[in-house]
Amino acid sequence: MTKSSAVLFILIFSLIFKLEELRAALVLVVLLIAGGLFMFTYKSTQFNIEGFALVLGASFIGGIRWTLTQMLLQKAELGLQNPIDTMFHLQPLMFLGLFPLFAVFEGLHLSTSEKIFRFQDTGLLLRVLGSLFLGGILAFGLGFSEFLLVSRTSSLTLSIAGIFKEVCTLLLAAHLLGDQISLLNWLGFALCLSGISLHIALKALHARGDGAPKPLKGLGSNPDLELLLRSSQPEDEDNEEEEYFVAQGQQ
C-alpha cells in the first residue's frame, strides 16, 4: 500500500524539474491511480514502522531516479537518447552501487554454496549458470524497454505502466493462488483502471494535437521557402553589383 505513493513522488519531482506541466487532468490521473492502488491492496496487516520507512524511502528515491533519467534521455546535448548508450554509461555505476550490498548480505552464502563455487554436480552447475544467463537477458530487455519508454514518453508514463503490471500480478494471484479480494479492493481496482485509461486518452489527444497541421504564419514559417529565399540572396547581390558597374560605366 505504501508503494502506491511512488507515482505521487514521480509527479512531484516531474513538476519540480519542469518535465511536466501542472494540469488538473494530470493531478486527477495520479490521484485516481495512487488511491485506487492503495484501496486495491488494502488489507488488515500489522504495521511495522521500519518497513514503512524503507518502502516510503524507496518510493521517494525512485521518483528522483526516474525523473533524472528522463532528463538525461531527453537532453539532446548529452547524446544519450539511445537506450543502449544510456545503459552503457549507467549500468557500471549501478553495478558498483549494488556490489557492496551483495557482498555483505549474500557473498558468504554464495561462496560456500555447493551449486556454484563448491559444486560437485556439473549438470546442476550448468543449470544454475543457464538460469543466471537467462535472468541477465531478461533484465537487459527490461532495462532497455524502460529506458526506451522514458526517452519516448515520460517517467510518469513508465510508473503508470508499472502499476498496470502490478494490478495484473494481483489479479493473477487472486485467480491462481486463491487470494481473497473484498469489495473495497474491487472498487480500488476500478479507480486504478479509470486513472490509467484517462492517462492513455490524454496522451492520445496530446499526440493527435501535436500531429495536426499548423497554420502558416507567413513565408518565413515554410522551410522550403526559407531555403529558396536564402539561395536567391546571392543572386540578388550579384545583380545589384552588375547594375552598379553598368551605371558607373555609363557615367
217 domain-assigned = no
**77 or 219: which carries more pLDDT confidence?**
77
Contacts of 116 (CB under 8 A, 6+ apart): 110, 125, 128
- Residues 36 and 163 sit within 8 Å (Cβ to Cβ): no
Q: In the chain, what is the greatest distance between 2 CA atoms, to the nearest angstrom? A: 107
Amino acid code (one letter) for 193: L
Residues 92-103: pLDDT tens digits?
988 998 899 988
Per-residue pLDDT, 225: 42
Cα separation, 84 vs 145, whole angstroms: 10
220 domain-assigned = no
- Residues 87 and 36 sit within 8 Å (Cβ to Cβ): no
| Residue 177 per-residue DSSP state | S
Q: For 19-33, 125-139, 151-165, 216-230, which range has the lowest pLDDT when averaged over its residues? A: 216-230
Per-residue pLDDT, 119: 76
Q: Which domain holds residue 83?
A: 2-210
| CA nearest neighbour of 148 among 77, 65, 80 | 80
Q: Read off the pLDDT of each residue in 170-199 and give the average, rounded to a whole number.
A: 84
Domains: count for the chain:
1
